[in-house]
Amino acid sequence: MTEAASPISAAPDYASMFAGLDAMFETGRTTSLSWRAEQLSALERMMVECEQELMDALKSDLGKHPQEAWATEISYVAAEAAYSRKNLKRWARRRKVPTPMVGQPGKSWLQPEPLGVVLIMGAWNYPLQLVLAGLAAAISAGNCAVLKPSELAPATSDIIARLVPEYLDSKCIKVVEGAVPETTALLELAWDHILYTGGGNVGRIVMAAAAKHLTPVTLELGGKSPCVVMPDADLPTTARRIAWGKFTNAGQTCIAPDYLLVDAETEKKLVPLLQQAVTEMFGENPEASESYGRIVNDRHFDRLTELIGSGDVAIGGQSNAESRYIAPTVLTGVSADSLVMQEEIFGPILPILRAGDLEASIRFIRASDKPLAAYIFTRDSTAEARFLEKVSSGSACINDTMMFMTVDELPFGGVGPSGMGNYSGEYGFRTFSHMKAVMKRGWWPDFAVRYAPFTARKFKLLRKLR
């Protein structure tokens, strides 16, 4: 462990905190590859050594089963840190690019350099992963960082504030706990980059605040991720994979399938298979299952229970306000103007809409905002190619849901209203780096063709050189 200090929780003078981090960055402490590797290794170690405490916090905040907490949060952060550490030297080295004839004698390259002091603002649905995976990227690029965990997951926020100073370099990495006042105060500062994960409304506030300082932002905002099921799909497998993607974390996942588009005959076959998949995963009574989570707070519980009336309940529909339980629910008879289709659901409610064929599904999807993820289940390679060509989304997955998150070499990010910028693996390194363009010229020969006085002969020669 490196030198520790108390978290910045509730400290009023964020400007002084920021100035201290900026001064530390100017010393060059974080640019050292050995420092970056040491911090990433410590982050990995924190996930291993504090696994049970982290599981307990996630259970407290969201009712996550230890296996789900480990698979979707703890191991994800550890893997992100390990992958970044192992590839650090390759990512950080100069990248040569060709130099044209007119630039000879000379050499050209891209030289990654850290941005400086960055702000990482996480969301409550994956309160560990969405803060610390971003931190791994910021560290790999050589930055100082301030973490702002979500106050809506208080147990996880508390443990991040306690563990980060114990394991990581507290002179370069700080944690700020709090809610709107703290976030507002942080956004007044001139960060070198902001990574925000959450909803579009707050995303606009973040972007407006960043604009005052011309601070670049990465926004991960979500949206209504569509899922098309074609008649030729392997429906039993499709049902299991959709149920897993939708009801993991009680549906509180930004890349969960938000709604299904199917034809009438496929819907008739798929609904009982979804019921079977739910029963296999969570039993006859999901409320009694340790594998099924809970809604984060009363406000979201009330919002979600209102959405259940948007269609005919084919599966589930039960709820318990005291424990904030909402059963895995599937709705049929849903139309485009139903309440459940007006915003991202972000809960365990899966509406099914009728679409006559693939082209009708594509038209429906394209009429709405571009989603963070898009899914299609089919055996037809022509159908999948058409879907990928016509449906714009941050990520896409064919014949499964959410599994692109397991591929280290793929970026994670949105497009349009679902977000801007991306991170994960090398893409995270690039997000928190400036790829400085460098050219070095030789002294001789120093061709006179570019210098005045200009002549017809020089002009002719210059055209050939370009």
Do the Cβ atoms of 164 and 138 come closer than 8 Å?
A: no
329-240-400 Cα angle (round to 5): 110
Please confirm whether the linkage preceding 328 is cis (ω < 30° from 0): no
Catalytic residue (choose from 220, 344, 384, 426): 220
409-412-413 Cα angle (round to 5): 145
Nearest to 62 by CA among 129, 148, 154, 149: 154
Q: How far is CA 144 from CA 23, 275, 426, in A?
A: 10, 48, 18
Do the Cβ atoms of 413 and 421 come closer than 8 Å?
A: yes
Ordered alpha helix ranges (H), 142-230: 154-167, 180-186, 200-211
Sign of the alpha-carbon torsion through 27, 30, 31, 35: positive
Catalytic residue (choose from 44, 254, 384, 426): 254
Neighbours of 101 (CB within 10 A): 8
Q: Is 220 a catalytic residue?
A: yes
What residues have CB less than 8 Å from 147, skipping those under 6 apart? 120, 122, 131, 132, 135, 160, 164, 173, 174, 175, 176
Do the Cβ atoms of 247 and 328 come closer than 8 Å?
A: yes
Ordered alpha helix ranges (H), 254-316: 264-282, 298-307
Catalytically annotated residues: 220, 254
